[in-house]
């Protein structure tokens, strides 16, 4: 009887291990945006991943680039350099899913981020409209 119980325990453990999904490939590091204008740094923040504007690859206006398109008037004067634009990115299957913000148009969006070889794919969706960008290692 004891051998049967052990066999069932091992079989259960084997089934559980076989159905567990692998974690997505790491997105940590610095990535150049597809338009070549900035570098986004993805980093661990608590139990999730976040992303911030690390540097600009084009000249900033005098006094620094500002969040002028933000829908909240009180935030329109904050500097973009160092601004967190991805947050709560948690592993979900082969991707990280969370939230994002585009300072170019002041929109918040549902974000998905994943590695495809040496490319970082960033998908943002607002309602039914989605766009995917390809970032390269900076």
Does 15 reside within a domain?
no
The pLDDT value given to residue 20: 52
Q: Does 83 map to a domain? A: yes
- Domain membership flag for residue 18: no
Asked, for residue 4, whether it belongs to a domain, the answer is no
Full residue range of the structural domain in which residue 108 is found: 24-137
- Look up the CATH number of the domain holding residue 77: 2.40.128.520
The pLDDT tens digits for 28-41 are 999 999 999 999 99
User: Which tokens in the block code for residue 42?
Assistant: 């993805």
| Beta strands, E only, the chain | 29-32, 38-45, 48-56, 84-92, 95-102, 107-116, 119-126, 129-137
- pTM score, two decimals? 0.83
Q: Return the pLDDT at 23.
A: 85
Query: Which residues, given as ranges, of the chain have pLDDT below 50?
Result: 1-19
- How many domains in the chain? 1
């Amino acid at each position: 009887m004891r051998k049967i119980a052990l066999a069932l325990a091992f079989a259960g453990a084997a089934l559980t291990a076989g159905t567990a999904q692998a974690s997505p490939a790491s997105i940590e590091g610095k990535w150049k945006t597809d338009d070549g204008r900035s570098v986004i740094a993805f980093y661990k923040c608590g139990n999730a991943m976040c992303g911030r504007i690390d540097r600009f690859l084009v000249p900033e206006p005098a006094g620094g680039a500002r969040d002028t398109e933000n829908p909240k008037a009180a935030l329109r004067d904050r500097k973009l350099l160092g601004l967190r634009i991805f947050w709560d990115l948690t592993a979900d299957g082969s991707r990280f899913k969370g939230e994002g913000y585009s300072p170019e148009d002041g929109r918040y969006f549902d974000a998905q981020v994943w590695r495809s070889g040496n490319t970082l794919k960033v998908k943002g969706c607002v309602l039914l409209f989605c766009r995917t960008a390809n970032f390269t290692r900076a």
